[in-house]
Amino acid sequence: LTLVDKRKLKAKLYLAEVDAEGRRGPVFVAGLDVPTPIMGIYAFESLGLKPNPITGKLEVVGPEGGYLL
């Protein structure tokens, strides 16, 4: 697993279903030992969403759920 700061970690991956902004779909979940759960960009993208860094809100950019490549 490569983090945004380019660090590489070994982690177990799981398949889960996520619901965000009323959209639901399958995503990969990495088992990480962190104090606060982290939702990665891949999870948002698989739901057809992207975070807007200016407004802090999620924007719809595509169809919801189902793309696991």
Tell whether the model's pLDDT for residue 8 goes beyond 70. Answer: yes
Q: How far apart are CA 49 and CA 63, in angstroms?
A: 9
Partners of residue 24 on adjacent β-strands: 19
Positions of E strands within 1-69:
12-20, 23-31, 49-51, 58-60
Q: How far apart are CA 67 and CA 69, in angstroms?
A: 6
pLDDT value for 69: 52
Helix (H, G, I), strand (E, B) or coil at 44: helix
Model confidence pLDDT, tens digit, residues 16-69: 888 888 888 888 888 888 888 777 788 888 888 999 999 999 999 887 655 555
Cβ neighbours around 25 below 10 Å, total: 19
